[in-house]
Amino acid sequence: MQSLLSHLSELFAHAFEAAGLDRAFGEVVVSQRPDISQFQCNGALPAAKAAKQNPRAVAQSVLDAVQSRDIFADLSLAGPGFINITLTDEFLTARVNAVAADERLGCTPVSQPRTVVIDFGGPNVAKAMHVGHLRSSIIGDSLQRVFRYAGDRVVSDVHLGDWGTQMGMLITELQREQPDLPYFDSGYTGPYSDESPISIEDLEAMYPRASARAKAETEAADAARTATAELQQGRPGYFALWKHFVAISRAALMRDFADLGVHFDLWLGESDAQPRIPAMIARLDAAGFLKESDGARVIYLADAEEEKQTMTPLIVVKSDGGVMYGTTDLATIEQRVGDLHADLILYVVDARQSAHFRQVFEAARLTGIAGSVELEHIGFGTMNGTDRKPFKTRAGGVMKLQDLLRMATEQALARMTEAKIAEGYSEEERNDIARKVGIASVKYADLMNHRTTDYIFDIEKFVRFEGRTGAYLLYAAVRIKSVLRKAGDQQMKPGPIVITGSEERDLVLMLQQLPEVLAATYANRAPNHLCEYIFTLAQSFSRFYQNCPMISEQNESVRSSRLALAGLCLCTFERVLNLLGMEIPERM
């Protein structure tokens, strides 16, 4: 169904056209002065400037041409030509009942669905997920939900860091610690065990030792590079070890992401693009794109974003014959275009990687690897501690994601105890509620900021049941569930929605803003629009709850209307919070 704002904008576009002006001036927006009107159209001023006419006279000519006047309770001019718009309760009632009957809550799917690949998460093999993975995971997951709900075919890919020199470091470190394993015997013909010789805990502990040794000892670094080359050339023992490393890392990562409520369609890694690289390099070379530079082979680029100024060349083949991350990224784009038939690829990666992605994207376009696909870097800022520096543990290290989620859950449980929430529930249910509240609080605190901004992570502030927090939103949704459950227990049923007061009217108007909010989230790749909307809706419902009795209302038609309005609010809460990746408890 057409959204309310789209309907009003179309009416005023016709009116501007009838007045001999451009239809584009007819856009209607929510009023910034709700005490004066519900909506406003500000197009008369720019239209008058373009036509060299008096703004107020232009606005009056538009008002005279407006059709469907029976839907307006008031149309008036203000100032130099602002048009104030207020709708009748009868029209709003008809609209909100139509939204309540629509399973998509008035949100129309995109007219031309695309295949959208969303690359986010980006963890590395052998490394535990930590807070540095949080923003990409939360933002990327919300975007995949939004794009999928909008009607696109979405393919999410975790893009594991599972290739490169770090693999060689792990192999040589394990050989140093357990030299008798058959994987290191070049004469061994197999078969190799299906069971990994080490656990994920062993692997995570081994990685920093291997990394430190490679940095401190030239001999260790050389051995790691040699092992990496032999792995990439297919040495059986090394390849079998690599498969173990990837398998146990992936299992641990899947658990971590599941705890965060994040899921992926694909679990591909950098290694999956490697078979494409030799042929891709040969094609680029044959087409004349590769140039020699200090022994390396590079692609020279112009920066389309900086008026064709040159940017740093993209190294495709290093002087020692190895390849770079950019090479793998080009092969991955080729893979996503060829195998996944992507129309749009979004990379949800730290904003500090923007220069790298500009290089890769320009190279992909220049060489034809990208074809007609759109490439976007969805950059984001940093999560900082209360000291305004990148978030660390008290000991100064990087906090593991599991530890952060545990901290959030414990804080939520403490807050619930203070507020006497979920008293008398079983320990299992209380812990489940605390987990949902903790994770929602972490997610909302991140997503409520525009993704490009840095923000301060303060778990004590985030896990509050008042103010702009995820905990507050879950509590508001659970309160609606409680009211509807009590009404059901007393055989009270919802009915047609009618407007009998200002709180109901305000709530009806808020509920009809969802299509535009979703469209802004989709267009800007920015979930903060949804965060702002759902908080404002929660405030509107709170005023309705305080001033409009439901179960105690004696007038049956008013009571059933209010219950229906509460039900529509709950559906909207469920939809929006789901798009933000939050789970609502059944009760608190």
Mean pLDDT estimate for the chain: 94
Q: What own/partner pairs with CB < 8 Å and gap ≥ 24 does 449-454 have?
A: 449/381, 449/528, 450/526, 450/528, 451/135, 451/139, 451/378, 451/379, 451/380, 451/381, 451/525, 451/526, 451/527, 451/528, 452/351, 452/379, 452/380, 452/381, 453/381, 454/381, 454/382, 454/383, 454/384
Structural domain boundaries of the chain?
A: 4-87, 165-260
Measure the CA–CA gap between 301 and 353, rounded to whole angstroms. Answer: 17
What was the pLDDT predicted at 308?
A: 58
H-type helices in 318-426, by residue range? 325-338, 354-367, 401-418
What was the pLDDT predicted at 459?
A: 86
φ and ψ at 30, to 5 degrees? -65, 135
**% of residues, the chain, pLDDT over 70:** 98
What was the pLDDT predicted at 242?
A: 96
H-type helices in 66-156, by residue range? 89-101, 134-149
What was the pLDDT predicted at 309?
A: 61
φ and ψ at 46, to 5 degrees? -65, -30
* Other CB atoms within 10 Å distance of the CB of residue 180: 7
Q: How far is CA 210 from CA 156, 206, 325, 511, in A?
A: 31, 6, 21, 56
- The per-residue pLDDT for range 219-228, each reduced to its tens digit, is 999 999 999 8
Q: Which residues pair with 117 in a beta bridge?
A: 155, 345
What was the pLDDT predicted at 307?
A: 55
Q: What is the DSSP string of 10-28?
A: HHHHHHHHHTTS-GGGG-E
- pLDDT above 90: residue 387: no
Q: How far is CA 57 from CA 44, 47, 83, 286, in A?
A: 9, 11, 12, 66
- The per-residue pLDDT for range 434-452, each reduced to its tens digit, is 999 999 999 999 999 999 9
- 565: confidence class by pLDDT, cuts 50, 70, 90: very high
- pLDDT above 80: residue 422: yes
- 458: confidence class by pLDDT, cuts 50, 70, 90: confident
What was the pLDDT predicted at 250?
A: 95
Measure the CA–CA gap between 484 and 119, rounded to whole angstroms. Answer: 40
pLDDT mean over 289-303: 92
- pLDDT above 80: residue 241: yes
Residues 139 and 380: beta-carbon distance below 8 Å: yes
What was the pLDDT predicted at 305?
A: 60
- The per-residue pLDDT for range 504-532, each reduced to its tens digit, is 999 999 999 999 999 999 999 999 999 99
What was the pLDDT predicted at 389?
A: 79
549 preceded by a cis bond (ω within 30 of 0)? no
Residues 192 and 299: beta-carbon distance below 8 Å: no
pLDDT mean over 372-384: 95
- pLDDT above 60: residue 93: yes
What is the pTM assigned to this prediction? Answer: 0.93
**% of residues, the chain, pLDDT over 90:** 87
The pairing of beta strand 115-119 with beta strand 344-347: parallel
- The two tokens of residue 402 are 């599991």
Half-sphere exposure of 409 (CA within 13 A, CB side): 17
- pLDDT above 80: residue 170: yes
Measure the CA–CA gap between 159 and 265, rounded to whole angstroms. Answer: 11
- 165: confidence class by pLDDT, cuts 50, 70, 90: confident
Measure the CA–CA gap between 249 and 258, rounded to whole angstroms. Answer: 14
- The per-residue pLDDT for range 109-154, each reduced to its tens digit, is 999 999 999 999 999 998 888 888 999 999 999 999 999 999 999 9
- pLDDT above 80: residue 487: yes
> What CATH fold (topology level) applies to the domain 4-87?
Gyrase A; domain 2 (3.30.1360)
What was the pLDDT predicted at 112?
A: 96
In 70-221, which ranges are E strands?
A: 72-78, 82-87, 115-119, 153-157
